Chains A and B, each alone.
Chain A
Amino acid sequence: MTKEKKMVITIPREELMSPGHLACQGCGASLAMRLALKALGQKTAVCIPACCWAVIDGPFPYSSLDIPIYHCAFETAASSASGVKAGLEMVGETETTVLAWAGDGGTFDIGIQALSAAAERNEDIIYACYDNEAYMNTGIQRSSATPLGAWTTTTPVKHYKKERKKDIIGIMAAHEIPYIATASVAYPEDLVRKFKKAREIKGTRFIHIYAPCPVGWKSQPEDSIKLAKLAVQTGYFPLFEIEDGENWTLNFKVKERKPISEYLKLQGRFRHLKEEEIAIIQKEVDTKWEKTLKKCGL
């Protein structure tokens, strides 16, 4: 008799996000929220600044989330969440998890001042950045999270993005906050585990979620998960955790990394790249990967 293998489902069944939201097909950001809330549960309050998620939630008077939402100003996710946490504590609601949920623009660019300040104060909040690598809500403009080589409306094909993606993890690690993690919508168990773990830690927790955007990346909606997987398998977006700013753990040890070209070729935003430019990007990925391994003690 063959031994019966049991699959353990670690993702809670409870849904705090309803259908009928306004996300596009294949939106990584909406899936990320759905999964994150499964982990965090109903006793969560979220601050959402200007970003796609300010729209995805649904127009007034509707909301697709079964938790309280504060739609706050673009640059204020971290400061608004700090205030909400302080306010809730003062009125005796100490158990509520306060989540700041912002895009890459709201995190890497306009909101970084408030984020850095909240991290330095070690505010008791979870800050999640869903990274679709541009300002998508306003029509695909570059952010400092847009990767080298990418097209956006403000980095047109002839002048595609010549700068590297900002190292937000390095910045957050330098703040020595208790918990930092990267997560991906293609690895839901890992994502859920990280949010659950974050929920139990006190202080500022930062989770960087890789979230494909078919509209902004000029990719197929059905390829979103495939792309998110490739990002991990190529080493472009490694999945890891950092505790107290120094203890790095790699969660997925990719033995044979796939070439970055496999990842790039599925996206129209990289279509203009020539072979030598792809080679440069490959080198960048290799260097970054080696650095990450080293930090993880591998």
Chain B
Amino acid sequence: MKKVIMGNHALSYGAMLSRSQVIAAYPITPQTQVVELLSEMCADGTLEAKFIKVESEHSAMAACLGASLAGARAFTATSAQGLALMHEMLHWASGGRMPVVLGNINRAMAPGWSIWSDQNDSLSERDTGWIQFYCSSNQEVLDSVIQAFKVSEKLMIPSMIILDAFSLSHTYEVVEIPEQEKVDGYLPPFKPPFRLTTEEPHAFGGLTSPDHYMELRYKLQKDMEKVPALVDETGREYEKIFGRRLSQVDDYRCDDAELILVTSGTAGYTARVAVDELREKGIKAGNLRIRLFRPFPFEKVRQIVSSAPKVAVLDRNISYGHHGIFYQEVKSALYGQTAKPTVFGFIAGLGGRDITKDHFKEIVEYALSKDKAEEEIVWIGVKK
């Protein structure tokens, strides 16, 4: 069935079709519609789940973790300040191997108060041991929730589904809503290897001496390393059933490109409009949209960008004192490789400032006219 829905509702439908059993959430703009629809679904019986109306995001994640440990599939959604307040529990989720799925609407961090998009909220949680998917359409949001539960539960690592504030969260698009039976065929019920039950009592997360702790973290990393292949495998399986491929990255006209624009989130689609227009003028541009950010898809990124002489990375985020975060990651993926394209780093769109196709044209012009960047960070559209 096709429906015109907002990005936030794509998250709700994803959570519903995944048969989430416990939802605990706390409202924050621009996430509210996600949980409003879910609470309606719980109330009218469309979704057979318990909705815990907690008093903070910290408690939202804590309640999800309790539910997950008990063996129930748990979902929540938040944004910016809410995600930051969850920070402690994010480590808890991955360290405790509780495969919760969380929808995060990218919103700029305060102060000053902003409800508009940038990626510093989710990227600040880069090292918490969560799988991160950055989406660029409402369809992808819905599909990603379902795939994320599958990947997460297989490896017992939580996942974050990330979408831009407003340009996706509040934008209405046509979305194919898969049939429940088909989703059930793809995503089996959650059956964790260990859970909190009186039938087989275990203590979870107790005091762990240096004799054991490191091995637990080693195993988490080893399982993280399995994610990229599993994303492709479950993505192909998804395609077989639903006709849409889900992969680590999404490349567009990259094969013969002189310059590849690396993007994430909705900026990817804007980049493609620019790519098409530039191609018409004879400029061979391409776009690589990174969907899976953690674990970082090193192999895929290398494969695709190595063939181009130049790469321009657009970051809607910044690690103060360093650079845009995707830029750092792309550069580190290329270090020590024989084919080494020149990498340019651009920062744009902080706090919800628009990123337009003209910005991408400006970026391409800059990168093609220079052997290397004049500044480590090239700011786009900043009033200096």
Which A residues form the contact surface with B (CB < 8 A)? 42-45, 47, 54-55, 57-61, 63, 65-73, 75-76, 78-91, 93, 96, 113-114, 116-117, 121
Contacts and interface: CB of A to CB of B under 8 A. Distances in A.
B50 A68 contact: no
Given A69-B202, A114-B59, 15 more contacts: A58-B203, A59-B208, A63-B202, A70-B204, A76-B62, A76-B89, A83-B65, A83-B66, A85-B70, A86-B22, A87-B22, A87-B66, A87-B71, A91-B72, A116-B55
A73 B92 contact: yes
A113 B55 contact: yes
Interface string B289-325: 0000000000000000000000000000000000000
Contacts of A67: 198, 201
A58 B62 CA distance: 23
B212 A61 contact: yes
B204 A71 contact: yes
A50 B334 CA distance: 43
Contacts, number: 172
Contact of A66 (B58, B201, B208): B201
Top 10 A-B residue pairs of the complex, sorted by shortest distance between their CB atoms: A83-B66, A87-B70, A87-B67, A83-B63, A117-B55, A87-B72, A79-B59, A63-B203, A76-B62, A71-B205
Interface residues of B, number: 43
A69 B72 contact: no
B74 interface: yes
Contact of A84 (B21, B70, B200, B202): B70
B207 interface: yes
A121 B55 CA distance: 10
B220 interface: no
B54 interface: yes
Nearest to B19: A90
Contacts of B22: 83, 86-87, 90
A96 B49 CA distance: 18
A79 to B, nearest CB: 4
A85 B63 CA distance: 9
Contacts of A72: 62, 65-66, 92, 205
A65 B196 CA distance: 13
Interface string B191-222: 00001111011111111110010000000000
